[in-house]
Every structure is written in C-alpha cells, then in structure tokens.
Amino acid sequence: MKLPRAWVLAFGLTLALLAGCHHEAQPSWRLTDVSGHLPDLAFKLTDDNGKTVTAADYRGKVLLVYFGYTHCPDVCPLTLAHLHVVMQRLGAKADDARILFVSVDPARDTPQTMHAYVNAFDKRAVGLVGPDKDIEALAKRLRSAYTREPDKGDGAYDVSHSSAIYLFDRDGKARVLATPSASQDDMVHDVSLLIDLGAKA
C-alpha cells in the first residue's frame, strides 16, 4: 500500500513534534527553575592545577557553580560541606557532576591555595581563579555580584558575594538555582534529575 505523500509528511512532522515535546517536557524541579533566564555557562579561567580551562572542558558534566573565597571562614565552608554531602548521597552518579568553586578574591586566592581548599571538601570540586575582569565577567553573566569590603587593619578583609548555587546541565545550560539554605533532599533530587537528563550530543 502506498501512503499519500502528504500523510507521510504529516506523520513525520507529528513524530518530530512528539520528540520535541518529549525533549522539552520540564522535569519537576524542587529548586528555582531558571531555564531560559540565564545565558549558557562561558568562562576562561585557571583551575586549581594551574591549567587554563573553559566552560567547554566541563561539557558532559552536571555543574554546581558557587562563588566564594578561601578566607571566608564560615558561609563558604558551610555551603561546600553541604555540597559534599549532596555529592556523597548521589553515590556513583556524582562522577557525572562537578562542583565549580569560583574565587571572588583574585588578590589572595592562587591555584595552590584553591587546590588544598576544594580538596578538603570534595574530590569532585574544582577551584577556579582568574583576573578580576574575568571573574567579574562570569559573575555578571550569571547576574551575580561580589564586593571587597574595607581592610580590617592588618591587610585582612572580607568579600561579600552572592550566595546562590547555580546548577547547569551537561550542555552548559543554566537550569536551577539553589540558596545555601536549600534542603539537601531538594539538591540531591534536582542534581540527580540533571544527571539523568543526559547530554544532547
């Protein structure tokens, strides 16, 4: 039997639409959905091994991006400790995710200090450093902000910074946003979903 050409076309289109629908079906996030509201991840920075890296180097991994600095004695360690527990709870799946800890303190954070710091929290955490302009560009891209506070006397100073955790899918697309007080259950749920989404390529 020969189907009319128009029917074949229509059938094909329907299939394509269905496939499209299926792909666009929104996972039921528990955190704040930011899909389509933030640009894709893009940066050129130095990792904690001293290597120049770009966002493309992490394609294929689900990314948890967090801005902070090593002289931050409380909020940053607390957030990274939470992220470590999230990774632990993901078990073997966590190999498909990375924590990117971006320093907002270019004056003090070096690849070496970042290396010791991130590894004290999780072996799947990467520390990223770069000149002020490159960090600022990434922060702006993600609608994030940071401010170096006045010196406290002996050269010590704090850096106020956005406390959000940005979750990117394997294609580098921003998908959900978490606050540092987000529950570990919700974080595990959404990171797990992101890992399950797989990559387009």
What residue has token string 């299939």?
15
Q: Answer yes or no: are the C-beta atoms of 102 and 137 closer than 8 Å.
A: no
Nearer to another protein, 36 or 153 (CB): 153
- The gap between the terminal CA atoms of the chain, to the nearest Å, is 37
Based on the shown chain and the rule CB under 8 A, indicate whether residue 124 belongs to the binding site for another protein.
Answer: no
Q: Kindly identify the residues of this chain, within the stretch 89-118, that bind another protein according to CB under 8 A.
A: 113, 116-117
Nearer to another protein, 27 or 180 (CB): 180
| Alpha-carbon 58 to chain mean position | 10
Q: From residue 178 to residue 197, what is the string marking binding to another protein with x (rule CB under 8 A)?
A: -xxx----------------
Q: Kindly identify the residues of this chain, within the stretch 60-89, that bind another protein according to CB under 8 A.
A: 68, 70-82, 84-85
Q: What is the DSSP string of 114-131?
A: HHHHHHTT-TTEEEEE--
Number of chain residues interacting with another protein (CB under 8 A): 35
Q: What is the DSSP letter of 199?
A: -
Based on the shown chain and the rule CB under 8 A, indicate whether residue 42 belongs to the binding site for another protein.
Answer: no
Give dist(CA 93, CA 87) in Å, integer.
8
Residue ranges binding another protein (CB under 8 A)? 68, 70-82, 84-85, 113, 116-117, 120-122, 145, 149, 152, 156, 158, 160-164, 179-181
